[in-house]
């Protein structure tokens, strides 16, 4: 399922259409510790076609190097919106043998 995510960079509104496959590819590619280039690739591959040149102009320097802070800020906005409809994950306390014994003693 694709999700259209609008993001404003400066004064320009962009539309990114992200699928689970796109986002999974991004997450898989950042496992090596590198995040800026995979982030830039996600933005470049999912932005509306007619907005690609303007996106590139805004998020890269004169030598086509991605501007890390800007790219990661946009990725943060996309991640927040893309994952907003996922259920919350709550970690439960693990029970241990000691916890059970303490409870038994306190109930006696």
**Predicted confidence (pLDDT) per residue in 4-19, tens digit:** 999 999 999 999 999 9
pLDDT at residue 101, rounded to an integer: 54
Q: What stretch of H or E contains 9?
A: strand 2-9
Say how far apart CA 67 and CA 99 lie, in whole Å: 51
pLDDT at residue 24, rounded to an integer: 94
pLDDT band at residue 38 using 50, 70 and 90 as cut-offs: very high
- Report, as an integer, the average pLDDT of 60-84: 95
Residue 42's nearest CA partner among 25, 64, 20 is 25
As given in the structure block, the two tokens for residue 3 are 């999700």
* Residue ranges with strand state E in 23-72: none
Q: Distance between the two ends of the chain, CA-based, in angstroms?
A: 56
pTM of the model: 0.80
């Amino acid at each position: 399922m694709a999700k259209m995510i609008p993001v404003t960079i400066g004064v320009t509104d962009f539309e990114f259409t992200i699928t689970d496959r796109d986002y999974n590819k991004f997450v898989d590619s950042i496992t090596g510790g590198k995040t800026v280039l995979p982030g830039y690739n996600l933005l470049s591959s999912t932005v509306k076609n007619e907005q690609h040149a303007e996106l590139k102009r805004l998020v890269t320097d004169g030598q086509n190097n991605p501007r890390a802070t800007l790219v990661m800020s946009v990725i943060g906005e996309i991640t927040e919106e893309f994952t907003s409809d996922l259920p919350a994950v709550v970690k439960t306390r693990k029970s241990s043998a000691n916890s059970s014994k303490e409870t038994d003693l306190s109930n006696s």
